[in-house]
Amino acid sequence: MSAPQGSTNTNTEPWGSFDDNIIQGSGSAVIDMENMDDTSGSSFEDMGEMHQRMKEEEEVTEEAAATEEDNGEYGDFLGMKGLKGQLGRQVADEVWQAGKRQASKAFNLYANIDILRPYFDVEPNQVRHRLVESLIPVRMINFPQKVAGELYGPMMLVFTMVAILLHGMKTSGTVIREGTLMGTAIGTCFGYWLGVSSFIYFLAYLCNAQITMLQMLSLLGYGLFGHCVVLFITYNVHFHSLFYILWLVIGGLSTLRMVAVLISRTVGQTPRLILCGTLAALHMLFLLYLHFAYHKMVEGILDTLEGPNIPPIQRVARDVPVVANVVVNATIKSIAAIVQSQ
């Protein structure tokens, strides 16, 4: 490379200006790119090549620095003695490394997006069809049912559920002390989708069921369609009996579909029971939790007085620990008495 040791010294700055590395390359027809502005236009092959050149130059400068140190440190800070433009080289090296790091980060980001691209390859009528299909349990459980492996529908359903939850939390006047409404809604929905999918996938692995993680994510995501419908209706129309009917019917249908698909992919009675029992319990209980956790306070009180066997889950500030049922019911009754006496 160009490590000139005797050519003309055109230093105009004490640290060795950038012109050195270009003019002094006698006999070389290569423009030294390291001292120009590092634009991101170069291709990755060129960058690899230049990185190689930089490494070699680094080695040269390191050798020179080693010999320089051996020579003593008289006023050597700016590299005036010994190799000329040493600091200049180092600065240029830093710039180059920073640029290269940025470029490789950008490359990784791009690569990551492309990994997900095949999972988003859907048409609108396919999405519509799968949405409707998620409420229709399959009949044939003797051979494995096909599960679509796409992520667009599930993601849109999770975001829709976040929006619906936000609406429910707002209208019920939920107070979140240590957090935000949006954060709680997003955390709940995504946490359920990703967490329960992973858990059921793990159980499926234990029970030897033939389902991949992507398929499980997709299945559970589409199962949230029933939840969205029920929550959308019952956050606006507040009748407990309506909620229970919808919970059983729509929640039940979507659970049955997921369960049937899993049964068709598992062998043996006990594994089927474990897997499907867990999934059914989690799915139905989640809908129950979502409804009652963000329910309007007034309706809750009145319904408590009507139906003594249904203690509503109290919506309190999140930092208060769960109290006993008795205390809760006593509080509700006293508040209801005050409300009724006004």
Partner 1 sequence: MAEVEESNKPLFAGLSDISISEDIPVEGDISVPVGSQNTDNDFSTLDEPVKDTILRDLRAVGQKFVHVMYPKKSSALLRDWDLWGPLLLCVTLALMLQGGSADSEEDGRPQFAEVFVIIWFGSVIITLNSKLLGGTISFFQSLCVLGYCILPLTVAMIVCRIVLLGGASVVSFAVRLIVVTASFSWSTFASTAFLADSQPANRKALVVYPVFLFYFVIGWMILTFSPSQ
Among 177, 309, 319, 320, binds partner 1 (CB under 8 A): 177
12 binds partner 1 (CB under 8 A): no
Among 16, 35, 215, 294, binds partner 1 (CB under 8 A): 35
Q: Is residue 42 classed exposed, middle or buried when 0-12, 13-18 and 19+ CB atoms within 10 A define those classes?
A: middle
Q: How far is the CB of 335 from partner 1 (least distance, A)?
A: 16
The type of residue at 168 is G
Instruction: State which residue, 87 or 274, has the beta carbon closest to partner 1.
Output: 87
249 binds partner 1 (CB under 8 A): no
Instruction: State which residue, 26 or 309, has the beta carbon closest to partner 1.
Output: 26
Let me know: does 262 contact 141? Beta carbons within 8 Å: no
Instruction: State the Cα torsion 145-151-152-155 to the nearest 10°.
Output: 110
Among 87, 103, 138, 181, binds partner 1 (CB under 8 A): 181
98 binds partner 1 (CB under 8 A): no
Which stretch in 176-184, 214-222, 251-259, 320-328 sits in contact with partner 1 by CB under 8 A? Answer: 176-184
Give the helix ranges, DSSP H, for the chain.
20-23, 44-70, 86-116, 124-133, 152-171, 181-206, 213-234, 240-246, 252-264, 269-293, 297-306, 325-341
Three-state SS for 149? Answer: coil
**Which DSSP state fits 314?**
P
Among 6, 117, 139, 341, binds partner 1 (CB under 8 A): 117
Let me know: does 202 contact 229? Beta carbons within 8 Å: no
Q: Quote the CA–CA distance of 152 and 148 in Å, as a whole number.
A: 11
Instruction: State which residue, 146 or 177, has the beta carbon closest to partner 1.
Output: 177
Instruction: State the Cα torsion 38-44-47-51 to the nearest 10°.
Output: 130
188 binds partner 1 (CB under 8 A): no
127 binds partner 1 (CB under 8 A): yes
**Which DSSP state fits 250?**
I
**What is the total count of residues that contact partner 1 (CB under 8 A)?**
40
23 binds partner 1 (CB under 8 A): yes
156 binds partner 1 (CB under 8 A): yes
Among 14, 48, 183, 195, binds partner 1 (CB under 8 A): 183
CA distances from 274 to 129, 255, 271 (A): 30, 15, 5
Which stretch in 123-131, 235-243, 268-276, 334-342 sits in contact with partner 1 by CB under 8 A? Answer: 123-131
User: Could you write out the three-class secondary structure of 102-130?
Assistant: HHHHHHHHHHHHHHHHHHHCCCHHHHHHH
Q: Quote the CA–CA distance of 161 and 152 in Å, as a whole number.
A: 14
Q: How far is the CB of 174 from partner 1 (least distance, A)?
A: 7
Which stretch in 8-16, 18-26, 79-87, 213-221 sits in contact with partner 1 by CB under 8 A? Answer: 18-26
308 binds partner 1 (CB under 8 A): no
144 binds partner 1 (CB under 8 A): no
The type of residue at 336 is A
Question: Site residues (CB under 8 A) for partner 1?
Answer: 18-19, 22-23, 25-27, 29, 31, 35-36, 113, 116-117, 119-124, 127, 152, 155-156, 159-160, 163, 166-167, 169-170, 173-177, 180-183
